[in-house]
Amino acid sequence: MTEFAAILSTPGVQEVCVLRPHTPGRLGFMAYHGGNLELQTDVIAAAAAERSGASYYGVLQPVPMREHLPSIKVRPAESERLAAFIEHVDVVITIHGFGRRGMFSALLLGGNNRPLAHHVGGALQRALPAYDIVTDLETIPKKLRGLHIDNPVNLPRQAGVQIELPPRVRGSSPMWWDWEGPGLTPHTISLIDGLVEAATTWPNEPR
């Protein structure tokens, strides 16, 4: 059994696939490091997908599971749901979490669809003006650029953009120690607003 298949077969792991037909450009959101692994990534991706009418694929790990599988090992050949998602969408926005000293307010936009990255980056900059929205690949750490051809973000027909989110914008940093809600933190809500704007205004390119 492969590593990805092993994760999917682990008790408590949820694999979610929602295919929606009418989003501009047949766009989808992914968060396959969700649940207890990269906190709130699945919540953000699912909310943005639902609000924008986009498709969604997520893998949610339960507490206390934290099995980080490199993206290139997340393969459609090992999941009928992932294969169906990749076949259904033309472009994708993949949501990840990261944490690096000196980059606590930076959102990194990698992936091979650079026009989409700049489009999403503009929407996020309007929604989160206090954050550094990074679309220049040369300034993104190599391991976070999402350029490998086997990375799921690059498998749809027109590839996609990989967004690396720091803990602060996901509501999981010490900055929010006294946040009692209700709901998501204001920064996370603004992030989702920006993603929804990007998804609903992406041009419907010919397929």
What distance in Å separates the CA atoms of residue 29 and residue 91, rounded to the nearest whole number?
Answer: 9
What distance in Å separates the CA atoms of residue 33 and residue 67, rounded to the nearest whole number?
Answer: 9
**Does the pLDDT at position 43 exceed 60?**
yes
Q: For the segment 7-40, what is each residue's pLDDT rounded down to a tens digit?
A: 999 999 999 999 998 666 799 999 999 999 999 9
DSSP designation for 142: G
Q: For the segment 60-85, what is each residue's pLDDT rounded down to a tens digit?
A: 999 999 999 999 999 999 999 999 99
Among 157, 7, 1, 5, smallest CA distance to 79 is for 5
Q: For the segment 142-197, what is each residue's pLDDT rounded down to a tens digit?
A: 999 999 999 999 999 999 999 999 999 999 887 888 888 789 999 999 999 999 99
pTM score of the predicted model: 0.95
Work out the burial of residue 142: count CB atoms within 10 Å of its CB; fewer than 13 is exposed, 13-18 middle, 19 or more buried. exposed
Instruction: Order across the sheet with 14-18: list the strands.
Output: 14-18, 55-61, 27-35, 91-97, 160-165, 106-110, 132-134
